[in-house]
Every structure is written in structure tokens, then in C-alpha cells.
Structure 1
């Protein structure tokens, strides 16, 4: 079970985040998915995740790549340490393009049921990256 759940998370990271594959997104997200890492008062369902990748990260970062450094699975949860990287070639959350390399460090926990994402918790360094880009 653990290796299958790790593969679900690996597929999501590569096919959805890195490649922008909407069919894979729909296949891997449970309809009642909850993103516990969403900012307070913001949408936290499946579509909010797609919007983050497709409308925030992908337009701002060319050559977007997800690198998985570690994965640990226990029961129905998979913890992943990864980086999302690319070239800041588009506006990223109101920060104009700088042409600089960007690396966002992420640690997330995903609950997987029946091969689909049902819950997500996570922390990342996006705010630090934005502050550094704004100074550039």
C-alpha cells in the first residue's frame, strides 16, 4: 500500500504540477478533497489546487520542474520533501519577471484513498522566494 500511495503522489507531482496534465489531475483528485494548507478564508477544494499550479506557478515559471528528494509513507499518508524550480519569466503573485532562477522548497503530507488525493497539509518557502524576487 505504501509504495502505491507514493506512486500516486509522484504521479501528481510530475504529471500535474510539472507537466500541467489536467486529465491526470482529475484522475488523482477525490471530489471531496480538502487542502488544509490553503490560506484562511480561501477556497480549499480540488479546483483551488489546480488554480494554484495552472494560474499562479506555471505562467510565472518557465522550465518548471519538480524534484522529489524524499518520500515517506505510513498508512494512508505520504510525506514528500521536494523542490519546485524554474525561471521567473512571468508575473508571480504581483512580482514582475526577473529572469532569475527560482527554487521553492516544499514539505507536504497527502492522505491517499483509493489512489486519489483526499487531504493535503504543507509548508513551503514561497513567501521567502517572493521577498527575494521583490528585492531583485
Structure 2
């Protein structure tokens, strides 16, 4: 079971976040998914995750890559330490393109149920990255 759960999370990171595969997103995301890391007052369901990847990350970062450093599985949860990287070639959350390399460090926990993302919690260095880009 833990290996299967880790594979679900690995597939999501590579096929969905890195490659932008909407078919994989639909296959790996539970309809009642909850993103506990969504900003307060913002949508926290499946579509909010897809919109973040497709309308925030992908247009801002060319050569988008997800590097998985560690995965730990216990019970129905998988914790992953990863880096999302790319080149800042488009406006990123209000910051105009700088052409600089970007690396966002992420640690997230995903509850996997029936082979799909059911819940997500995470922390990342995005605020630090945006602050550094805005000083460029």
C-alpha cells in the first residue's frame, strides 16, 4: 500500500504539475478533494489546484520541473519534500518576468484514498521567492 500511495503522489507531481496533463489530474484527484493550504477565503477544491498549476505556475515558469527529494508514507498519508523550478519568463503573481532561475522548496502531505488525492497540506518558500524576484 505505501509504495502505491507514493506512486500516486509521484505521478501527480510529474504528470500534472510538471507536464500539465489534465487527464492525469482528473484521474488522480478525488471529486471531494480539500486543499487545507489554500489561502483563507479562497476556493480549496480540485479546480483551485488545477487553476494554480495552469494559470499561475505554468504561464510564469518555463522549463517547469518538479524534483522529488524525499517521500515518506505512513497510513494513508504521503509526505514529500520537493523543488519546483523553472525560468521566470512570465508574470508571476504580479511580478513581471525577470528571466531568472526560480526554485520553490515545498514540503507537502497528501492523504491518498482509493488511489486519488483526498486532502493536501503544505508549506513552501514561494513568499521568499516572490520577494527575491521583485527585487531583481
Q: Over the residues paired in the alignment, what is the CA RMSD in angstroms?
A: 0.2
Matched with 1:31 is 31
CA distance in 1, matches of 2:27, 2:131: 35
Q: Please name the residue that 2:59 is paired with.
A: 59
How many residues were matched structurally? 136
1:46-80 deviations in Å (ceiling 9; x for gaps)? 00000000000000000000000000000100000
Cross-structure match for 1:116: 116
Following superposition, the deviation at residue 109 of structure 1 comes to: 0.0
CA distance in structure 1 between the aligned counterparts of 2:51 and 2:108, rounded to whole angstroms? 18
C-alpha separation in 1, matches of 2:23 and 2:127: 30
Aligned residue number for residue 6 of structure 1: 6
* Runs of 4 or more consecutive aligned structure 1 residues displaced over 6 Å after TM superposition: none
Aligned partner of 1:48 in structure 2 is: 48
Q: CA deviation at 1:16?
A: 0.1
Unpaired runs of 5+ residues, structure 1, are: none
For residue 72 of structure 1, what is the aligned residue in structure 2?
72
| TM-score relative to the length of structure 1 | 1.00
Deviation of residue 98 (structure 1)?
0.2
